[in-house]
A and B are shown apart, each in its own frame.
Chain A
């Protein structure tokens, strides 16, 4: 029983950390229509910033400032925001698949820089010993993880409320207007390029936060944590959960990560031991199958976008 609780806490931490990144992507894709295929890169920037700011100092590697956890979180968001600003300015003329290809390339570049810039990132060896803030506050892994879960829930909730408020504000309506028809919105005197850039930066800051939380939870960061598969996972979470719906984004993170991990548990318990090594392939098939079926049954995601009608208009049913 304790084992189950302990595992659930662990599972929730990881899925909520993903969830925060999904919220960021939702702001970009769901509300603004920005095809960011470089999610892993921005999570990585947040993760390394956290590791450099809060980690222990090492010979021949920059950083190790041993700053408090909160400073690390803020720093991670700021640095990933700045990186997003730079990327956004360069790519502001690109839309749709062009932006996707460009951001994908940027994420791969970021990963390669992490791999090779030893002085900053420790290279292939990664950075070890990143402190977990709950280690001094509680005894035993379960209590520590439960405390960490509280931190992740609070930050997830703050991100959720912040993005909800943003998209409900007049500025948020502008995002949707740009997503739906850019020409129409510029004819109203809006500046789509600027607003897209703002949404891009805000979304990437959430991704940076997610990376920072991941690093302090795991205690280690290496370039292998930010391969393109991570971008794919975050996207799947958003699409399955329902893009342009923040509750859908969080639900998608829970469900997709649940499918991803529980399929392994199921396979290892069902498959006879002689062919266990083939279980990996079966797990991959199972994950793919469940996702495809979900999308076939609910193409707009589990909870899709809520229909929004101006409160000045008459009800649709009339």
Chain B
């Protein structure tokens, strides 16, 4: 008995010694290239600190393979040349195998094409939303080294088309703002609605901040549309909607997320908008999101409000979990294992040191896991993109009420259907 006990005590001691010694003996570097100064400095600094927070929590859980993770942050100053140099120096001089960053697409993309892909380094961005990444991945020019934890705008047109056809509208007019956002969304909508069995009567672009949109509205009314898909911002959107209704347009309106605003409802008058429907991004309703928010508040004395905070936490976590799952820690292995730690049929693990500890145990036992993070369960498609959950809404009297919720998986399924 005594022997057994002492043996147990010894092994416990050895274990704690073992991990303790290892954790201080070796370090694994994780590179981050973020704009902590320059025009994006304010945003970037909070993102950078949240990245550090994720690394600290992972270290609390024992680090990667018993090694302490060192978070090496470099500033891009919001400039592509500086960002590219910082990334190259992290890869060549610090020997990092994975990069977190950058924030602007105009910086992330040069890093991807001139550093990450040639050097076979996995790059995960928290915040770059450009469609160019998807295009590049489709052409096979990213070799799969690109991931982002920020949901792309792809789902917007899909949601618009989904709402329109679900309501049984067959002949839809589109009025959209003439910016890269509006043009991109409207063009995608045109493709998407055809796939779902709807059709378009006319597509009309409008330029911002005009006094009247009579000409545009008149043009859009041609062809007797039974519904209108409006991509606009509140002030111009209200002008267009008023003129549309005044000239006898249908009140079957589908609007984009920017019009989910009291300014818009009041300017038009809620009573005229009772047949309006819209969509928006939804915070995933998951315990992992709430527990991230709690831990964040405890650490930073304030809620995680601001762009990129949830998504950078997940970017770091996913990379570190993938490192843990890799044999040798190389960019290629990290790339290959990112999907193994976000596998839809894996065992669910959540955020925080406890979650990471459990994840490490499961990985050590050779299980696949599904990381459910600060932005919910991530599932990267073949281009490294993720989707966010969406909700649909309408007006009931003056009240803005939710009419439906689509989880990430459902959004991804919808887009899959539209893209193939």
Contacts and interface: CB of A to CB of B under 8 A. Distances in A.
Binding between chains A and B: yes
Interface of A: 3-4, 6-7, 10-11, 14, 118, 123-126, 128-129, 141, 144, 217-220, 222-225, 227, 229-230, 260-261, 264-265, 267-268, 273-274, 276-281, 283-284
Contacts of B77: 229, 280, 283-284
Interface string B109-137: 11001100011000000000011100110
Nearest to A140: B118
Contact of B82 (A123, A144, A261): A261
Contact of A224 (B52, B80, B113): B80
A218 B72 contact: no
A274 B88 CA distance: 23
B114 A224 contact: no
Contacts of B110: 218-220, 225
A14 B89 CA distance: 13
Most chain A beta-carbon contacts within 10 A, residue among B41, B75, B130, B180: B75
B50 to A, nearest CB: 10
Contacts of B402: none
A277 B52 contact: yes
Contact of B88 (A7, A225, A276, A284): A7
Interface of B is mostly: helix
Contact of B85 (A225, A261, A273): A261
Contacts of A223: 106
A94 to B, nearest CB: 29
Interface string B70-110: 11111101011110111011011101000000001111011
B106 to A, nearest CB: 3
Given A218-B114, A264-B75, A264-B89, A280 B106 contact: no
Given A4-B93, A124-B130, A141-B119, A229 B109 contact: no
Interface of B: 35-38, 41, 44-45, 48-49, 52, 70-75, 77, 79-82, 84-86, 88-89, 91-93, 95, 104-107, 109-110, 113-114, 118-119, 130-132, 135-136, 139, 141, 180, 183
A280 B132 contact: no
A261 B89 contact: yes
Contacts of B106: 126, 222-225
Contacts of B38: 280
A125 B73 CA distance: 26
B52 A276 contact: yes
A249 B137 CA distance: 40
B180 A280 contact: no
Contacts of B109: 126, 128, 220, 222
